[in-house]
Amino acid sequence: MKIAVFSTKPYDQEYFENFNDKKDFEFTFFETSLNQVTADLANGFNVVCVFVNDHIDDKTIKILSKIGVGLIALRCAGFNNVDLESARKNDLKVVRVPAYSPEAVAEHAVALILTLNRKTHKAYNRVREANFSLNKLIGFNIYKKTVGVIGTGKIGSAFCRIMKGFGCKIIAYDEYKSEEMEKIGVEYKSQDLVFKESDIISLHCPLTPDTKHMINRDSVEMMSDGIMIINTSRGALIDTADIIDALSQKKVGYLGIDVYEQEENLFFKDLSESIIQDDLILRLISFPNVLITSHQAFFTQEAMEEITNTTLDNIEDFQQGRALKNEVLQ
């Protein structure tokens, strides 16, 4: 089984090579992302393995189908970058890693909250310069604050359990309520009430037509002044232009994001010697109360092992003609 791995980073290659001993697949690693321009690189391969910023649109899928690719193996949970209808029409199977380490992402969301609040990143830099002043480093107690959670799937539930440990009141919105979360004291409310009543809002839902730009001018207007918003899910859940306006007007007091609408042009790359052309990200970076990490919430040893093993199992199921337990269906 020949597999073309796109958007490869050194750690991707390391994990696939280390865990491939039992499968004996033939991997070829490409640093470039998969799209209609690069799709021909998959000629002669049975499988393409892709990540969040690869563009598997209709044109790309038609090329893949024409050159004999039979499986698109996502090494991530999200699949909004794949045209599923086109994949079905062109007889390409799509599989994903539905859950690798919910705790990894949930813990990173908490890290963003703590860092933004207590400004430990700024304190670290000050002390390294022998500046031991506490001026402008004041935070607030998370204890007894109301934390609003949008989406209580595996990651959202892990986040709720952590925040309960801080002594927070947890309110949540999800189309499907979790009895387990209700048992630990999570109170389900409408999305609007979660926006209105929270001190901190953390997003843990997929990107769909209904959730795109759920954080926008109107929804922010419902929120309390100085609200903290955390996003470790998908960048397009937040309307970037609207959130910049809200930050400028001091309506939003803190913003922590591990994802960004236009991240495919930025994240996972070293652009330190480049001139960044994205004015919105540059504006966000300029705010002292904004913390941005580059899609690293998933990045733990445990998560990488699970992603790798599940991806290998998915490919083996396809190779053996078995039912694809992690298939993404239209």
The predicted-structure confidence for 175-215, as pLDDT tens digits, reads as follows 999 999 999 999 999 999 999 999 999 999 999 999 999 99
**Residue 72 and residue 169 in one domain:** no
Secondary structure (DSSP) of 196-262: HH-SEEEE-----TTTTT-BSHHHHHHSPTTEEEEE-S-GGGB-HHHHHHHHHTTSEEEEEES--TT
pLDDT, residue 99, reads 82
Whether 234 is catalytic: yes
**Residue 87 and residue 109 in one domain:** no
For residue 22, pLDDT beyond 80: no
**Residue 114 and residue 246 in one domain:** yes
**Residue 8 and residue 147 in one domain:** no
Report if residue 326 sits inside a domain. no
For residue 264, pLDDT beyond 90: no
Query: What's the CA gap between 121 and 81, in Å, rounded?
Result: 33
**Residue 34 and residue 107 in one domain:** no
Report if residue 215 sits inside a domain. yes
Whole-prediction pTM: 0.91
For residue 290, pLDDT beyond 90: yes
**Residue 213 and residue 314 in one domain:** no
Q: Tell me the CATH number at 180.
A: 3.40.50.720
**Residue 52 and residue 163 in one domain:** no
Report if residue 210 sits inside a domain. yes
Query: What's the CA gap between 245 and 196, in Å, rounded?
Result: 19
Query: What's the CA gap between 69 and 63, in Å, rounded?
Result: 9
Contacts of 147 (CB under 8 A, 6+ apart): 163, 168, 169, 170, 171, 198, 199, 200, 201, 202
**Residue 248 and residue 308 in one domain:** no
Report if residue 113 sits inside a domain. yes
- Other beta carbons within 10 angstroms of residue 55's beta carbon come to 18
Kindly report the backbone phi and psi dihedral angles of residue 294, in degrees, each rounded to the nearest multiple of 5, phi listed first: -100, 70
Report if residue 325 sits inside a domain. no
Contacts of 103 (CB under 8 A, 6+ apart): 158
Instruction: Copy the structure tokens of residue 76.
Output: 């991530």
**Residue 30 and residue 135 in one domain:** no
**Segment 239-262 mean pLDDT:** 97
pLDDT, residue 250, reads 97
Domain that holds residue 268: 102-292
**Segment 34-58 mean pLDDT:** 96
Please identify which of the residues 55, 213, 263, 264 carries the catalytic annotation.
263
Whether 295 is catalytic: yes
Report if residue 109 sits inside a domain. yes
pLDDT, residue 108, reads 98
- What are the angstrom distances between the C-alpha of 103 and each of 17, 43, 259? 25, 38, 17
Burial (CB count within 10 angstroms: exposed 0-12, middle 13-18, buried 19+), residue 161: middle
pLDDT, residue 47, reads 97
Query: What's the CA gap between 115 and 317, in Å, rounded?
Result: 42
Q: What percent of the chain has pLDDT over 70?
A: 100
CA dihedral sign of residues 67, 25, 264, 31 = negative
Q: What percent of the chain has pLDDT over 90?
A: 93
pLDDT, residue 66, reads 97
pLDDT, residue 319, reads 95
Give the total number of structural domains in the chain.
2
Query: What's the CA gap between 114 and 112, in Å, rounded?
Result: 6
Please identify which of the residues 55, 108, 204, 295 carries the catalytic annotation.
295
Task: Render pLDDT for 72-94 as a digit per residue (tens, 0 to 9).
Answer: 999 998 898 999 999 999 999 99
Please identify which of the residues 55, 108, 234, 261 carries the catalytic annotation.
234
**Residue 251 and residue 267 in one domain:** yes
Half-sphere exposure of 230 (CA within 13 A, CB side): 28
The rounded radius of gyration (Å) of the Cα atoms in the chain is: 21
**Residue 89 and residue 107 in one domain:** no
Confidence class for position 12, pLDDT limits 50, 70, 90: very high
